[in-house]
Structure 1
């Protein structure tokens, strides 16, 4: 998911026209769910727990990406590259732990 979103953001930054910009507001749904789950986890396990912080950071990242894509804000090429790297790293970590 992160790799696809990063690729779409990169294409947007390189000048390709992406139709249906409002579709990126769909990212606000998993963002709100991740933030709510992070808050719920933090109240149970504590606010310094890494699982709670990771969920809240992921939710904030998804919300930021959705708003950047919707409002067509210029972020350069670095942010899409970082998002695509995070997605590839997540997939690689999942594959390594399964082996």
Structure 2
């Protein structure tokens, strides 16, 4: 069974334009990105350490947990880093992908 992460990984490996317009790449996979949501797709480099810094709250004080890291097996590893609201959107996008590819969750 191919999942959304595997399909996106294969598409990114074969088409460098995915990095320039990830929403268009998702559209090629039959998935609509919700309005107002941005995607930042990166192909990991072996010589790079990636640090994702959470946003500051409006008053500059720590605002609690705002991001989650979601690991999925795809290639060596696929990582989503997202807010709770974006997690709900991601689950919807996964459902769209499964529905359009005729696959049920196992």
Q: Name the TM tier (shorter chain).
A: 0.3 to 0.5
Q: Is the helix fraction higher in 1 or 2? A: 1
TM-score by length of 2: 0.31
